[in-house]
Amino acid sequence: MSSDNDISGIERSDVGISGISDTGTSNIDRTGDAVDNGHQGQTGASGAERAARRDEAVRAAVEQGLLGPDAPILGLLDITGIRESAAELRAAFDAVVAPGTPVLHAFAVKASPLVPVLRLLRDEGIGAEVASPGELALARAAGVPPERTVLDSPAKTPAELREALALGIAVNADNPQELDRLDALMRSAPSRSPIGLRVNPQVGGGSIEALSTATATSKFGVALRDEGAREWVVRAYADRPWLNRLHAHTGSQGIPLARMAEGLAETYALAEEINRRIGRPQIDTIDIGGGLPVNFASEETAPTYARYARLLSEAVPGLFGGRYGLVTEFGRSLLAKHGTVVARVEYAKSAGGRPIAVTHAGVQVATRTVYVPDAWPLRIAAYDTKGRPKEGPAVVQDVAGPACFAGDLLAEGRALPLLEQGDYAAALDTGAYYFAHHYAYNSLARPAVHGYTPDGSGGVAFATVRTAQTLDEIVAESGGAHASSLTTLRTPDRR
């Protein structure tokens, strides 16, 4: 077992939107999937190879002691798959842009804020999109160069802006007041940073309201269809020769591709209008954001980057003709399909005639799924006590987490091979926004995360991404050093 903390050093392998089905589905595989070939995506060998690598990794994790009675939960990342996704992203846009067009693919750090992941992506030609001082610190720790970093956030402080400008990091201003701050900073210390303005094309939302960023009242960017807003944007560029980018992000999971293309078309048209009206090609780069939806219903990768890039190039051909550089900010679509949370079944019980597998994975690693299960269903794979894919007839059962509230369920009424004590339940497609985003309910410890890849000799090599949180760390983060501080405060006598 490798102990190298840099997952980019794992040997490369030669291996080249819909919800989860309920019990009424007649075609169920061992993960509880509804087998659905209706998506236009990447099927066949790619998904099967990914599943095979995952199965081998779970078995090897149990064999090597990464999973077991004393290590009942683990996050796993498929390094081969991540590399493949990064290559597919680069190739998809290379195929549609004019030769020589500068393109920066900046990974949305919020999707997986883990330094070894950012280093791996850096080595695969991917930069970083950050939205907080913490995310910027992670990107810098991973060695992402400033010129391949983009700072987005609706709430940047003067200190954050000052640091970004000093480093030469690209900045997308969110609103007029932030642009005023940038005016003052640029007067006091001119910067080489590319600077853009985020606009909201207000083309509408999708099926998940919380991820719809181009609605009429979205908190992000300058709302283009509000009275006077478009004219204000044109003047903002005319008055600031250093304002040379334009940014928009229509939405993420649950947004139809056609709506994403519509938002990009509106943004491109605005860039053309600004450059024409101010009489110079001042905007030289358009940041199209990310947001490509992920299929959580099966192994299929759908939609693919290639399909999305072709759609955009057909909808907005002028954007890809070489007059504008491009920035993308994909996150979930790069990582989700390549992550798995595996948890030991501590107890198997029943209530009301329904079996319940009580595991160590719940709200602390799958917060969205537990609180909003209809919007964020996950596939569950069953493994036996040795980490091998579990066989047997499908049994309708619940897969529960360890937290002390009734709704802490990874899956409810799911048809799977019956999970028994000592087995393992795996939550699939959790490489983004799941185990990397710990929610400390019940002071549950952050689980360890390991990357894996075939070792070239029929086995599996692992590398540490993050060690499991210790009890001492939990106490320290919960104010342990200040245990008596509140008792020193005296309440004045009341009269």
404 is a domain residue: yes
**Residue 426 falls inside a structural domain:** yes
Same domain, 431 and 300: no
Rounded to an integer, what distance in angstroms lies between the CA atom of residue 332 and that of residue 254?
Answer: 12
How far does the chain reach from its first CA to its final CA, in angstroms? Answer: 68
Quote the pLDDT of residue 36: 31
pLDDT the model gives residue 39: 34
What tokens appear for 437 in the block?
């985003």
**Same-domain status, 127 and 176:** yes
Residues 351 and 301 in one domain: no
- Check whether residue 231 and residue 285 sit in a common domain: yes
In whole angstroms, give the CA distance from residue 156 to residue 133.
Answer: 9
Q: How far is the C-alpha of 297 from the C-alpha of 33, rounded, in Å?
A: 6
- Rounded-to-5 percentages of helix, strand, coil across the chain: 35, 20, 45
The pLDDT of residue 482: 98
Q: What is the pLDDT of residue 252?
A: 61
Instruction: Determine the Cα–Cα distance for residues 220 and 240; give it in Å rounded to an integer.
Output: 21
Domain membership flag for residue 34:
no
374 and 401 share a domain? yes
Domain boundary among 278, 309, 334: 334
* Residue 283: CATH number of its domain: 3.20.20.10
Q: How far apart are CA 371 and CA 247, in angstroms?
A: 32
Residues 257 and 363 reside in one and the same domain: no
**Can you tell me the distance from the alpha carbon of 369 to that of 169, in angstroms, rounded to the nearest whole number?**
35
> Are 380 and 446 within one domain?
yes
Whether 359 and 346 have beta carbons less than 8 Å apart is answered as yes
CB 370 within 8 A of CB 362: yes
Q: Are 10 and 461 in contact (CB under 8 A)?
A: yes
Q: Given 305, 334, 363, which residue is the final one in a domain?
A: 334
Q: Measured between alpha carbons, how far is 245 from 170 in angstroms, rounded to an integer? A: 9
In a domain, residue 460? The reply is yes
Whether residue 19 lies inside any domain: the answer is no
For 120-186, the DSSP string reads: HHHHTT-EEEE-SHHHHHHHHHTT--GGGEEE--TT--HHHHHHHHHHT-EEEE-SHHHHHHHHHHH
Q: What's the confidence (pLDDT) of residue 254?
A: 53
Residue with tokens 């999971």: 253
Residue-wise pLDDT tens digits, 116-132: 999 999 999 999 999 99
Q: Pick left, alpha or beta for residue 428 (phi over 0 → left; psi -120 to 50 → alpha; otherwise beta).
A: beta
Parallel, antiparallel or unpaired: strands 394-400 and 195-200: unpaired
pLDDT at 302: 87
Residue 302 lies in a domain: yes
13 within some domain = no
Q: Which two tokens stand for residue 56?
A: 């081998």
Domain count, the chain: 2
Q: What is the pLDDT of residue 200?
A: 82
- In this structure, the answer to whether residues 330 and 434 fall within a common structural domain is no
Residue numbers of the domain that contains 359: 336-478
The answer to whether the CB of 366 falls within 8 A of the CB of 430 is: yes
3-state secondary structure of 357: strand
Q: Which of 281, 309, 334 is the last residue of a domain?
A: 334
In the beta sheet, which residues pair with residue 285? Answer: 245, 325
Residue 65 pLDDT: 98
Structure confidence at residue 14 (pLDDT): 30
My answer on whether 462 and 395 are in the same domain is yes
Identify the DSSP state of 284: -
pLDDT score at 329? 95
pLDDT attached to residue 40: 40
Extract the residue ranges of the chain whose pLDDT is less than 50.
1-6, 8-41, 43, 204-208, 210-212, 214
CATH of the domain at 346: 2.40.37.10
Strands 339-351, 73-78: pairing kind: antiparallel
325 and 438, same domain (yes or no):
no
pLDDT for position 45: 67
Catalytic residue, candidates 404, 471, 481, 489: 404
Residues 348 and 312 in one domain: no
Q: Looking at the structure, tell me whether residues 308 and 402 fall in a common domain.
A: no
Is 169 inside any structural domain?
yes
Instruction: Please indicate whether residue 404 is annotated as part of the active site.
Output: yes
Q: What pLDDT is attached to residue 5? A: 43
